[in-house]
Structure 1
Amino acid sequence: MIVLFVAIFSPSTQLPIIEYLEETRGSSGVSLLPKDPVKRAHVRRLSEIINSGIQPMQNLSVMRQLPPEVNRDQWHIILFHGCFFTAFEKELEKLAGKYCVGDELSMADVCLVPQVYNAFRFKVDLSPYPIIRRIYTVLMEVEAFKKAAPDVQPDSIG
């Protein structure tokens, strides 16, 4: 779980953290929410699909609740294919440009990267999702995403 402590504010979920940073420090870097209200709504919707749809299902607390007969690798394959990537790819067909929503980085891109990383980790076949794969490839060329990759972190267990 990611926790940010700033003064007395301590959100413990990703979207409030991102939005808080956007609202308090947005002008000092890349804005993750488009100025256009329609695009902003699309970004928030895509981010919420990830935040409330797939991300909670990958938490260790949820994984521990699975019955012992459930194969964890199969769980992730079903989760990614059945519950997330198919629906997300369909949304991207309507919205994507270079990134998830048009041609500017957004909160949706920040939310997507860890999900694709986990899909690779669990050897999920991403060939049915060309837009997701393309966006992920483009994002992984962005310096900030390279520096944030889990396997380059000092505490990474590989």
Structure 2
Amino acid sequence: MDKDSAGPTPGFLVWRLANKWRVAVDRAVGPLGLTHAQYSLVASLYGMQRAGERPSQRRLADHTGLEALYVSKLARALEASGLIERARDPRDPRAVQLALTEQGLDVTRRAIALVQELLQQLLEPLGGLDTPRTRAFTGELTALLDAPLSPSAPDDETTQGRTS
């Protein structure tokens, strides 16, 4: 069988699923004044605050997988919207710590509830949120995310003629 007719590659499917998820979250949290990226930031910040942490922008960037410069841009926009506070870290004047405001806590709780409903819908084909199939799927995704990637050079023969 020709490798091109074998169906979509795992990389293509991951990309499609990520796009499907991003669009769905954007639509769900849009009425709250958030984008998917902003939601990722405030929801992560919410969880960290609940654990007693007041993370720096760098720590939040590492946690979310977003670029530090992008987190800084998102944080400034969320601060302008009154959802987060940015303050210099007293232990490191170069670092900026983030915290949700009261308004930010309210919006984030509502957004999390909407996204949880969405997640339940997404995972319904696997039996729902708390099932053995979903736990196995989550484990597989975690393994893929934890695996380091070293990008190959553009002229590397192993990448020529391949897509995701």
Larger radius of gyration: 2
TM-score bracket, normalised by the shorter chain, equals 0.3 to 0.5
TM-score by length of 2: 0.33
